[in-house]
Amino acid sequence: MKKLPSILIIIMFLASLGAVYAADGDTIWSKVYNSYDNDPYGIAVDSQNNIIVTGGYGTIKYDPNGNELWPSSVLFYGYDVAVDSNNNIILTNDSATMKYDPNGNPLWASAISFGGEAVAVDSNNNIIVTDGSDAMKYNPNGNELWSSAISFGGEATDVSIDSKNNIIVVGTSSGDYYIKKHDANGNLLWDKSISLTSGSDYCYGVAVDSFDNIIVTGWVYDELDSEIQYASGTIKFTSGGTELWRIQDNTGDRWSYKVAIDSYNNIIITGGKIDPYDHCQFLTVKYDSNGKKIWERAVDYSNEYDDSLDVAVDSQNNVIVTGYVYNGSEDNYYMIKYQGVPPRRKSLPIAQILKILGLNLEKT
């Protein structure tokens, strides 16, 4: 029993290993893809934490360390990308919605009469595509389940799915944020229009947390003293549409495009801002579930025109952001990965740790 204090120290050390991680918000790596006038529009992460980015140049798949698995020539271009539970890849653009296996082999393509603006996948691997005003739902084999059951009445820009497979579509209508929630069959549950300013408000992104709360983001502007002032606007709603809080960040001219949620229900938004030298920068901001800012990261890659267009979170809560940077003559696609706080690990029971160490406290 004289060895017990040292044994307890070992046990405490083993039990605390799950709390050790790198600094939240640190840059893990960044990548530039050099080609003609590349604007990436969408990003998704699969169950292996591989990263798929799509845009006007095509679609590229990376491993978690940012190494290219296959190039942009493998898949078609897309305006948005999603991944299903089998790691199949779904793209949508202005002419078709396409499904590929994890290796980039085509599974099916479905022509659409409207341009696909955003895509999401529900828990049954059904696919929902929305354009500027309508929506379409496919089963996993590409058969249409319904079309235009959702009429947006404005410019729809993003779509998300909650745990009950309800569909949330957001966009802009009459210069205000507009949010619509439908059930899995397209029946309207509720909708609302939100005015953040007396000027124009543009909603671009939506995400749903583990409680089915809805977070929307975008940007607003007012003309003050003959100058247009931009501000990022983020709002959190309950599943039923009751507003919980809003953040209108006008710390200099800034804007938001997309939003993602980590396993702690922290909220990550990405977009851009203008620095004191009138340069546009990548901007990514992380908030806790109550809207308190955790960190903010800006990237001024080119000292000219840099803008972040989409964001995703992997299974370790790392944040991956994509957008474009200007090289002096054209846009190049840029991606950066930030460290997150990994999900909590379950501690081993004391009895199990003692068994591993070959000890028994009942022995004298």
Predicted local confidence at residue 39, as pLDDT: 80
> Domain 24-341 belongs to what architecture?
6 Propeller (2.120)
Cα–Cα distance measured from residue 58 to residue 125, given in angstroms and rounded to the nearest whole number? 23
Taking a C-beta distance cutoff of 8 angstroms, is the pair 284, 14 a contact?
A: no
Taking a C-beta distance cutoff of 8 angstroms, is the pair 156, 169 a contact?
A: yes
Predicted local confidence at residue 328, as pLDDT: 72
β-pairing verdict for 176-182 and 188-194: antiparallel
Low-confidence ranges of the chain (pLDDT < 70): 1-22, 34-38, 72-75, 113-115, 148-149, 222-228, 277, 346-364
Tell me the C-alpha to C-alpha distance, in Å, between residue 161 and each of 64, 140, 157, 199, 354. 25, 16, 14, 30, 44
**Phi, psi for 5 (deg, rounded to 5):** -55, -45
Q: pTM for this structure?
A: 0.88
Q: Which residues of 329-348 are buried (b: 16+ CB within 10 A; e: fewer)?
A: eebbbbbbbbbbbbeeeeeb
Contacts with 229 (C-beta within 8 Å, 6 or more apart), sequence order: 221, 222, 223, 250, 253
User: Where exactly does CATH 2.120.10.30 map onto the chain?
Assistant: 24-341
Tokens of 305: 């025109």
Full DSSP string of 17-60: GGG--PPTT-EEEEEEE-STT--EEEEEE-TT--EEEEETTEEE
Predicted local confidence at residue 357, as pLDDT: 61
C-alpha atoms less than 13 angstroms from C-alpha of 6 in its C-beta half-sphere: 4
Predicted local confidence at residue 107, as pLDDT: 95
Full DSSP string of 145-212: EEESS---SSEEEEEEE-TT--EEEEEEETTEEEEEEE-TTS-EEEEEEE--SSSEEEEEEEEE-TT-
Predicted local confidence at residue 9, as pLDDT: 58
End-to-end CA distance of the chain: 6
- Nearest in space to 171 (alpha carbons), one of 152, 149, 151, 187: 152
358 bridge partner residues = none
- Residue in this structure with the two tokens 């202005």, named with its chain if needed: 94
